[in-house]
Structure 1
Amino acid sequence: MNPRKTARLAAAVLIAATMAVPTSIPAFAASSSGTSATASVIDEFEAANPGLLAAMERDLGLGADAARTLGARQDAATATEEVLRTALGDTFGGAYFDIASGTLTVGVTDVSKVAQVASAGATPRVVPRSVAQLDSTLARLGNRDTVAPRSVTGWYADIVTDQVVVTTLPGTSPIAKAFAGPDVRVVETAAPRTFADIKGGDAYNIGGSRCSVGLSVQGGFVTAGHCNVLTGGGALTRNGVALGTWGGAAFPGRDYAWVRTNSNWTPRGLVGAVRVVGSTAAATGSAVCKSGSTTGWTCGTVGAKNQTVRYAEGTVTGLTASNVRCQPGDSGGGFVTNAGQGQGTVSGGNTATCFFQPLGPILSAFGLTLVRG
C-alpha cells in the first residue's frame, strides 16, 4: 500500500453513504462463498463503477487486483471473527482487521485461549478487558446520558486499545473526565452533526430538504431517520417525481427510516451495475466505501462499533464510526464493503469521522428484506 496514501487515510474525513436513484438503490454485494465470487464482484466494479475504483485508489491506495484480494481476506476474517466470538464467550476481547497486512487480530482475556485463536487463523492478543466488560461500562455511561455535560459528544469502546473512550468538545477534557470516571479515556473532537441538507439537489427530496437513498429493500429503500424527523416527514420526490411514502422512522435513539416507493420506481439490488449480495457486518479495520449524493464514491475503514453519539438534536446509540468523508446531503446513503456486503446508512459526523447506522438493526426494526442483485 502506498505509505503516503495510508497516512492520508488515517487522517481522512469520512464520506457519507451511498446514493442511488430509486431505480438503482445502493449497496454493492459480494458473497462470502469464496474468492471467485469476490473476484466476480470486483470485475463488475471495473466494468460498471469506475468511480468506485478511483475512490479506492485515491482513498485506500488500492488498485483492482489489490481490492480483489482484500475483499476475499475481509470476507474470511469476518467469518473467523463470528466463530471465535461464540467460541470464546466471556473471554472474547474484540477483533480488528488490518488492511495493510490482511490479518485479523482477536483479543482474549484468558491466556489459555491463545492457541485456540491461533488455530482459527487469527493473531491472538491478551487484553485486560473483555467485550462484555467494555459493554458494561458503555451501559453505565448510557444510563447517565441525561446528566452528561453538553460538551460531551459521545462514547464508544475502542477495541484496538481495549478502552472505553468518551469524546468531548475541544478544551473540555476536565469536565468530561469528571463525568466519565476512572478507566475511561477522554478524546477531544469537533461536534458531530447530522448531514441532511436544506439546499435541495440530487438524490431524493423531502420538501426543500435533501438526503440520500440507502440500500434497497422489498418495497422501497432504507435511509436515515433524521431525514424524516428533522424535516417533518413531508412529501417525497425524486427529480420532481413523486417517490412514495414513509414506512417508518426513528430518531433520536436510533437513526433509521425506510421509504415505500410507489409504482414510478423499482428498487433494485444494485449500486450502479454491481449486485448487492448480503449484509454481513465487516470487522473493525476493514475497508468500506460509500457513494453519496453529495460526495460520490469515497472509501476508508470501519472504526469502533456500538458508539453513542450526542447530536444537538438528541442522542443516538449503536452507530459505527468510519473515516469515510461525509458532507451535507449524504445522510441516509449506503455503506458497503468492496466485496459487496451492505453495511448501513449514513447518520452524521464531523470533519474527522462519519458515523453510520448498521444495516442489521434497520432490517430487524421494520421487518424488511434486503434486495439482492
Structure 2
Amino acid sequence: MNPRKTARLTGAVLIAAAMAVMHSLPASAASSGGTSATDSAIDRIEAENPGLLAAMKRDLGLDATAARDLMATQEAAIGTENSLRTALGESFGGAYFDAATRKLVVSTTDASEVAAVTAAGATARVVATSAAQLDSEVARLNARERSAPSSVTGWYADIVTNEIVVTALPGTAEAAKSFAGSHVRVIEAEAPQLFVKGGDAYYIGSSRCSVGLTVQGGYVTAGHCETETGSAQPNNGTWAGSSFPGNDYAWVRTNSGVTLEPRVGSVTVRGSSSAATGAQVCKAGSTTGWTCGTVGAKNQTVRYQQGAVGGMTATNVRCQAGDSGGGFITPAGQGQGVVSGGNTSTCYFQPLGEILSVYGLRLLTG
C-alpha cells in the first residue's frame, strides 16, 4: 500500500473510532446532567416526532429502545462510511448497513486494507469489483438506454452482491440479458410508475404532489410534478427549476406568505449526509403519511413509461400516488431525497445532494 493511502486510512480510522465512541456512550456516562449527548438528542427526537416513532414501530418492528439504539448506530455509520470512502479511494467497493449485526460493512478490492477497515469499526469484505467499476458499468448501460427493450425497467449496481442487476417485466429475463450481457443478474418485477394524482397537499392544476425538503426561498420536490402537469403553477409558489426525465427533481420558489420550516413532517432536518444501503429511512408523503423501511441499491436507472431517470436510490418504503416529491429522511434528521415513483414493493427517491448542487440551494436545518 502506498504511503499516501496509509496516511488516509490512519486518519479515517481515528475519525471513525472517535465517532463510534461518541455514539455508543451509555446513558449513565457522559454529561454533568447524567445523560449522554446522544441520548439527549434522541430524547429530543422522540419528543418532537411521535408520528415518526409510531411509523418505525409499525413498519420496522422496533420498540422505543431499539429505535433509540438504531438512530445512534446509523448516525455513527454515516461518518464511518464517508471517512473510509475517501481513505480507500479507487479500491472502495461500496458500503452497506447490515441489519442483522447492526454494523456497517465496507468492501475493498485490496486485501491489505482489511485491518484498517476493521480498526475503523466496520466489517471488512474483499470483493472483485470496485464501486467505481460498477458505476462505470451502469454508465455504459445508461448510454445505451434508448436501445433497451421496453420490457427492461431499469438497472443498478448491487454493492451487497458486487454485481450489476437489471430489472425486467416477468418472463423477459432473456431479452434483458441480450441487451445488458450474460454476466448481469436479472430480477423480474412489475413496471414502476410515477406517483402523481389529483387531490390534496400542494396542487398543480387538478393534480397534487408532496413538499420534499425546505430550502432557502422554497422547497425541493419531484421534477415530474412539473412536467407531467402541463404549464400550471403550484398553488403555493412558482416553478424555479425542474428536470424530468433524465433526472426527477425540481424546486419551487414559494409565495411571500408561505412560512418555511426546517422539517420533514415533524422531524427537524439536521443535515444531508447520505445513509448507507441497508440503513433505515422514513418518508413523509401527502397520501401515505409517515412510512419507514430500508435503503436499497443506489445509483439506479429506472425506466418509466415517460422516460428513464438515473442516479436514484431504491427503498422498500410504502409510497402511493400523491406522495411524489415527498421528503426522505433518516430517523435522526439527515435529509436523503424526494419521492420519485415505484411499484407495490419499491419506492425510489432522487438523492438530495444532487438537487441542492444543481440549483445552488441551501437546505434549511434546525
How does the TM-score come out when normalised to structure 2?
A: 0.88
Query: How much has 1:33 moved relative to structure 2?
Result: 11
Residue 63 of structure 1: CA displacement?
Answer: 1.9
Paired residues for 1:222-237 under 5 Å: 222-237=220-235
Cα distance in 1 for partners of 2:22, 2:179 equals 47
Indicate yes or no: 2:341 matched with 1:348.
Answer: yes
Does the CA contact (< 8 Å) of 2:195 and 2:323 recur in 1? yes
Measured in 1, the distance between the counterparts of 2:71 and 2:178 equals 43
Amino acid at match of 2:209: C
> Take 2:115 and 2:220, find their aligned partners in 1: how far apart are those partners?
42
Asked whether the 8 Å contact 2:246–2:310 carries over to 1, the reply is: yes
Q: Structure 1 209/222 Cα, relative in aligned 2: closer, same or farther at 3 Å?
A: same
The structure showing larger relative contact order (alpha-carbon pairs under 8 Å, at least 6 residues apart) is 1
Q: Aligned equivalents of 2:193 and 2:165: distance in 1?
A: 19
2:199 aligns with: 200
* RMSD across aligned positions (CA): 1.7
Alpha-carbon distance, 1:215 to partner:
0.3
Contact conserved, 2:265 with 2:284, CA < 8 A, in 1?
Answer: no
Contact 1:94-1:131 within 8 A present in 2 as well: yes
Are 2:287 and 1:294 aligned? yes
Tell me, yes or no, if structure 1 residue 160 matches structure 2 residue 153: no
CA shift, 1:82, in A, is 1.2
Cα drift, residue 136 of structure 1: 1.7
Change (3 A) 1:110 1:347: same
Per the alignment, do residues 212 and 39 of structure 1 end up closer, same or farther by CA in structure 2, a change over 3 Å counting? farther
In structure 2, do the counterparts of structure 1 residues 139 and 64 end up closer, same or farther at CA, with 3 Å as the change threshold?
same
Q: How far apart are 1:40 and its partner, in Å? A: 4.0
**C-alpha distance 67-121 of structure 1, shift in aligned 2 (>3 A):** same
Partner Cα separation in structure 2 for residue 41 and residue 210 of structure 1: 35
Is 2:304 aligned against 1:311?
yes
Alpha-carbon separation, structure 2, partners of 1:232 and 1:45: 39
* Aligned twin of 1:328: 321
> How far apart in 2 are the matches of 1:73 and 1:319?
24
> Structure 2 CA distance, aligned partners of 1:40 and 1:63?
18
Cα distance in 2 for partners of 1:267, 1:130 equals 41
What residue in structure 1 maps to residue 361 of structure 2? 368
Measured after TM superposition, the shift of residue 68 of structure 1 is 1.7
- Residue 264 (structure 1) shift: 1.6
1:357 aligns with 2:350: yes
Matching residue of 1:178 = 178
CA drift of 1:37 comes to 5.4
Instruction: Check 1:211–1:41 CA distance in 2 against 1; reply closer, same or farther (3 A cut).
Output: farther
Q: Is the 8 A contact 2:107 2:126 kept in 1?
A: yes
Q: What per-residue deviation string (whole Å, max 9, x for no partner) do you get for residues 91-135 of structure 1?
A: 111110023322011111121111111111111111111112111
Mark the runs of 5 or more structure 1 residues left unpaired by the alignment.
1-30, 238-242
Report the AA paired with residue 83 of structure 1.
Answer: S
For 2:21 and 2:275, locate their aligned partners in 1 and report how far apart those are by CA, in whole Å.
15
Extract unaligned runs of 5+ from structure 2: 1-18, 24-35
In the alignment, structure 1 residue 219 sits paired with structure 2 residue 212: no
In the other structure, the counterpart of 1:146 is 146
1:245 Cα deviation (Å)?
Answer: 0.7
| Deviation (angstroms), 1:252 | 0.4
The DSSP-based 3-state class of the residue aligned with 1:236 is: coil
Shift of 1:318: 0.4
Distance in 2 (CA, whole Å) between partners of 1:32 and 1:269 is 27
Superposed counterparts of 1:1-373, under 5 Å: 34-35=22-23, 36=36, 38-197=38-197, 199-201=198-200, 203-237=201-235, 243-373=236-366
CA–CA distance in structure 1, aligned partners of residues 113 and 220 of structure 2: 40
Cα distance in 2, alignment partners of residues 38 and 330 from structure 1 = 32
CA contact (8 A) 1:98 1:285 kept: yes
Deviations 1:235-285 (A, max 9, x none): 222xxxxx1111110000100001111122111102344321100000110
SS of equivalent residue, structure 2 residue 124:
strand
User: Whose Rg is larger?
Assistant: 2
Whole-angstrom distance in 2 between the partners of 1:32 and 1:127: 25
Deviation at 1:64, TM superposition (A): 2.2
State the match for 1:6 in structure 2: none
Given that 1:70 and 1:99 are in contact with CA atoms closer than 8 Å, whether structure 2 keeps it comes out as no
TM-score with structure 1 length normalisation?
A: 0.87
The separation in 1 between residues aligned to 2:202 and 2:122, in whole angstroms, is: 43
Structure 1 residue 328, shift from structure 2 partner: 0.1
Structure 1 84/45 Cα, relative in aligned 2: closer, same or farther at 3 Å?
closer
* Structure-2 change in CA distance of 1:64 and 1:257 (3 Å): same
Could you tell me how far apart the structure 2 residues matched to 1:359 and 1:161 are? 25
- For 1:216 and 1:37, the matched residues in 2 are separated by 27
Q: Which runs of 4+ in 1 moved over 6 A?
A: none
